Amino acid sequence: MRSLAEADKAVTSAFGHANRLRLINAYFASPAGASVLPGEAWAHVYRLLLWTDGTTGLAHCYESDKCQPGKPWYARSLAFHAWLADALEASAAEVAGRIDWMFQRAAQELAAEVVRR
């Protein structure tokens, strides 16, 4: 079990390895993750690691500055987003609600820690 100081340090390094690992473990300990079959765990981890670019609304698969309209990776980002929606059996507009759990949680916990301090 991690100490409170270790957990606080992980939260303040919101997107660092220790916090990502802590959040993945928390997800699999939650009701949503507890029922995941071992053969499906990889898909859940990928979903946790994906995030949505706030500027384009597309699932992130490369540096966001290269994914803007007119930039080199924009067409690939659109294709990836469409593929991901298909894989998640969701509409393109629903993808953001199906991914981004870890980054949103890390940002919320970091903001709460900053306010607490």
Tens-place pLDDT, residues 69-104: 888 778 888 888 899 899 989 999 998 888 878 888
Helix (H, G, I), strand (E, B) or coil at 12: helix
pLDDT of residue 86: 93
Mean pLDDT of the chain: 80
- What is the pTM for the complete model shown? 0.58
Helix (H, G, I), strand (E, B) or coil at 52: strand
Tokens of 117: 């301090």
What are the tens digits of pLDDT across the range 60-77?
A: 765 566 777 888 778 888
Residue scoring higher pLDDT (47 or 95): 95
50, 37 Cβ separation under 8 angstroms: no
85, 92 Cβ separation under 8 angstroms: yes
Alpha carbon distance 99, 87 (integer Å): 12
* Cα dihedral value 92, 38, 3, 49, nearest 10: -20
